[in-house]
A and B are shown apart, each in its own frame.
Chain A
Amino acid sequence: MSQSKERAAIKVLIAKPGLDGHDVGAKLVGRALAEAGMTVCYSGLKRSPEQIAERAAAEGVDVVGLSIMSGAHLPLAQGALSALQARGLSHLPLVVGGVIPEKDREPLLALGVAAVFPVGTPFEEIVKAIEGLVGDAKGGRTAR
């Protein structure tokens, strides 16, 4: 399988939870993932955890990415994880990007977040990490 075909199989939901309206970063990351061959859906602003889980289920995505600039990443990530679990989607990797202080990386991972991408993370790194996570989640499919 060619690399681009393998990437096209990955479907991502980029979501804006909470009330923060700053979506430049979410859209940029979404676009970078799409340019890397992934299929990307964007939730729009101010989505509740339930709406995010519902969209993830409806679209059949492989990974959910939350973009959070307000500082409320811990409660919002917890909310999204619970909503995914309630829909039987706890196998979906949830990644978080935005204004995330280094000190909150471990607590996010401890909640069950699969990866954290603070502002300034190169797109290439995000693409690779998502490929790796989806490969793991789908049972050892290797992606490079």
Chain B
Amino acid sequence: MSKDKSDVSRVVWESGLEVKPVYGPAELEASGGYGRVGVPGEHPYTRGIHPTMYRGRPWTMRQYSGFGTAEETRERFLFLIKNGQTGLNVAFDLPTQNGYDSDHPMAQGEVGRVGMAVDTLADMEIAFDGIDLAKISTSLTINGSAVPIMAMYFAMAKKRGYALKDLRGTAQNDILKEFIGRGTWIFPVDDSVRLVGDTMEFCAKQAPKYSPVSVCGYHVRESGANPAQEMAYGLAIACAYLEHVMARGLSVDEVAPGLSFNFDIHGNIWEQVAKFRAGRRLFATIMKDRYGAKDPRSMQLRMIAGGGGGGLTVQQPENNIMRGAYYALISALSGTQTMALCCFDEAYTIPSERAAKLSLRTMQILMTEMGLCDTVDPLGGSWFVESMTNEMERQIQQILATLEGGAGIVAAVREGRVQAEVNRGAWERERKIESGEVKKVGVNCFVEEEEQRDVALHPYREEEAARQVQRLKRIRETRDAAAVERTLAELRKVAAAKQNVMPATIDAVEAYATVGELCGVLREVYGEFKEPVGSWR
């Protein structure tokens, strides 16, 4: 690698910001000063969204989990709760995420493999049986098929006697990022955004404590974006959903409190810290200045953070335990509301009980032994951290300016421009790891020749998949066929009229219509997304 000698001492973050060797008052002043730091719990929330942060409200611990059938998943939920987990985060299998029933040809070999299989309300009822939904809040990691899955969660809660108006929880339901990375899209871009709008409108009116959307910079970062792009695209996506529902006549303060975020952690510790502080400040500023928000909750960037799969390695997998612990530390120092860590074996397999518990214990150790909850934003006021927060804010703003608001990102995703940008980023990063410019322990330095990769693999049980298909068939035979037909016809009607599909979907899931039937109706009405494959490189 030929490098100019004067470059040797340069430190440049992935986002393109250059770091000086020492920071003091002059450097901070040059970056913009302390002016916009503010007070915790007050606009612009640089230091955190609550006045006392973890003193008053420790972060929620919510490991991503689910596999096989609802019965197996429920067992893992109970195991995690027994070990002190304070929230749930459901993984669904790929047929469920893509809107197919477990007996669809495309589902072959995939049923229950990367998450819990859900075909009907019955699966949701089994998974949460005996779990108090008022005590344990649940996050549903579901996107393309979010409408039927959220409807099933709501129907299950109603059946158990919980009022929707008091129900807490989150759905990931960020479809725009699925087009950028992760890929569980089903319908065309504009119809998909309208479905997200339907869930936001429904929750604003019927389930105001439920967060219908968790905007994921996370997967955009995992797909190749740098941290500044991650935050910029995340904020732009949030604006897109917000503008969509505001065009229906809802006010910013009716819907913005339902927005939450999911961000990535891997990479340079200080760059992540600056990203979160700058992102919080920008979100508050945009909500207030651009959309006229008055409710403080509309301006508070609430987030889940701690994961960073892209930072973990298949080489020397135990090293991922340490990485997870550092990521947890960064999230706590960055003021996250909820934490979920990638397990050390996750580059190989569905996490084992042992690995999931280690992640949980990592968070518990941090919370109880290390003093992370002692005081608010302990990094606040550092010349370095505040300078880089200022610089990061400008960097994110510059990227946002190129997107020209919420409509801009929808068009950029539809045309594959964001995809092309992150693909380029992924390639550049890979090249830097290959060349050794970016160092990864166990990958391009401190490599072990005869490595023992001793990771126990999660068994995939064919008989559980068969059991799922049996249950689906039994339900199809025993349910009230006329009610299913009637409610699906109603869904077809409201979807074609571009009315809110949530009430009709809830009626249909209560009649035990399947995920595949519900998404099938929407596929008929909207068609399917045609991937702009040309943007792959």
Interface residues of B in 174-233 (CB under 8 A from A): 178, 181-185, 222-224
With A and B bound together, what is the CA distance between A46 and B183 in angstroms? 9
A71 in contact with B114 given A21-B182, A44-B533, A120-B443 (CB within 8 Å): yes
Main secondary structure of the interface of B (DSSP, over half): loop
Note all chain B residues with C-beta closer than 8 A to A27.
Answer: 423, 426-427, 536-537
Minimal Cβ-Cβ distance residue in A for B178: A21
A89 within 8 A of B: no
With A and B bound together, what is the CA distance between A77 and B182 in angstroms? 21
A9 within 8 A of B: no
- B113 CB contact (under 8 Å) in A22, A46, A72: A72
Note all chain A residues with C-beta closer than 8 A to B457.
Answer: 101, 103
Binding stretch for chain B, among A28-36, A57-65, A109-117, A128-136: A28-36
**Number of A-B pairs whose CB atoms are under 8 Å?**
93
Tell me the smallest distance from the CB of A128 to a CB of chain B, in Å: 15
Q: Are B181 and A24 in contact (CB under 8 A)?
A: yes
- A18 CB contact (under 8 Å) in B110, B178, B347, B460: B110
A48 in contact with B182 given A71-B113, A72-B113 (CB within 8 Å): no
Q: Are B109 and A72 in contact (CB under 8 A)?
A: yes
B106 within 8 A of A: yes
Note all chain A residues with C-beta closer than 8 A to B109.
Answer: 18, 72, 74-76
With A and B bound together, what is the CA distance between A128 and B191 in angstroms? 44
Q: Are A24 and B224 in contact (CB under 8 A)?
A: yes
With A and B bound together, what is the CA distance between A48 and B109 in angstroms? 13
With A and B bound together, what is the CA distance between A82 and B303 in angstroms? 46
Note all chain A residues with C-beta closer than 8 A to B94.
Answer: 18-20, 70
Binding stretch for chain A, among B72-80, B95-103, B357-365: B95-103
Q: Are A19 and B178 in contact (CB under 8 A)?
A: no
Q: Are B314 and A70 in contact (CB under 8 A)?
A: no
With A and B bound together, what is the CA distance between A46 and B105 in angstroms? 12
Q: Are A23 and B537 in contact (CB under 8 A)?
A: no
With A and B bound together, what is the CA distance between A44 and B532 in angstroms? 8
With A and B bound together, what is the CA distance between A21 and B460 in angstroms? 20
With A and B bound together, what is the CA distance between A61 and B347 in angstroms? 31
B430 within 8 A of A: yes
Note all chain A residues with C-beta closer than 8 A to B224.
Answer: 24
Note all chain B residues with C-beta closer than 8 A to A101.
Answer: 348-349, 457
A21 in contact with B348 given A27-B426, A46-B98 (CB within 8 Å): no
With A and B bound together, what is the CA distance between A70 and B97 in angstroms? 13
B315 within 8 A of A: yes
Q: Are A102 and B453 in contact (CB under 8 A)?
A: yes
B interface size (C-beta, 8 A): 42
A18 in contact with B348 given A31-B427, A34-B537 (CB within 8 Å): no
Q: Are B536 and A30 in contact (CB under 8 A)?
A: yes
A1-38 CB mask vs B (1 if < 8 Å, else 0) is 00000000000000000111111100110110010000
Q: Are B113 and A70 in contact (CB under 8 A)?
A: yes
Query: Interface range on chain A: under 10, 10 to 19, 20 to 34, or 35 or more?
Result: 20 to 34
B101-133 CB mask vs A (1 if < 8 Å, else 0) is 000011111100110000000000000000000
Minimal Cβ-Cβ distance residue in A for B223: A24
Main secondary structure of the interface of A (DSSP, over half): loop
Q: Are B106 and A18 in contact (CB under 8 A)?
A: yes
B434 within 8 A of A: yes
Q: Are A42 and B536 in contact (CB under 8 A)?
A: yes
Minimal Cβ-Cβ distance residue in A for B350: A71
Note all chain A residues with C-beta closer than 8 A to B315.
Answer: 120
Minimal Cβ-Cβ distance residue in B for A99: B348
B166 within 8 A of A: no
Minimal Cβ-Cβ distance residue in B for A118: B314
Q: Are B183 and A28 in contact (CB under 8 A)?
A: no
With A and B bound together, what is the CA distance between A101 and B537 in angstroms? 28
With A and B bound together, what is the CA distance between A20 and B113 in angstroms? 11
Q: Are B460 and A71 in contact (CB under 8 A)?
A: yes
Tell me the smallest distance from the CB of A79 to a CB of chain B, in Å: 8
Note all chain A residues with C-beta closer than 8 A to B536.
Answer: 23, 27, 30, 42, 44
Minimal Cβ-Cβ distance residue in A for B186: A46
Minimal Cβ-Cβ distance residue in B for A45: B183
- A75 CB contact (under 8 Å) in B108, B181, B223: B108
B423-459 CB mask vs A (1 if < 8 Å, else 0) is 1001100100010000000010000000001000100
With A and B bound together, what is the CA distance between A23 and B533 in angstroms? 11
Q: Are A119 and B106 in contact (CB under 8 A)?
A: no
A28 in contact with B106 given A45-B531, A70-B113, A120-B314 (CB within 8 Å): no
A48 in contact with B222 given A24-B181, A101-B348 (CB within 8 Å): no
Note all chain B residues with C-beta closer than 8 A to A22.
Answer: 181-183
Q: Are A119 and B183 in contact (CB under 8 A)?
A: no
Tell me the smallest distance from the CB of B104 to a CB of chain A, in Å: 10
Note all chain B residues with C-beta closer than 8 A to A28.
Answer: 426-427, 430
Minimal Cβ-Cβ distance residue in B for A71: B113
Note all chain B residues with C-beta closer than 8 A to A44.
Answer: 531, 533, 536
Tell me the smallest distance from the CB of A37 to a CB of chain B, in Å: 15
Can you name 27 A-B pairs with beta carbons within 8 Å?
A19-B95, A19-B97, A19-B98, A20-B94, A20-B183, A21-B181, A22-B183, A23-B183, A24-B181, A27-B427, A27-B537, A28-B427, A30-B536, A30-B537, A44-B533, A46-B98, A70-B94, A71-B113, A75-B108, A103-B457, A118-B314, A119-B314, A119-B347, A120-B313, A120-B314, A120-B443, A123-B434
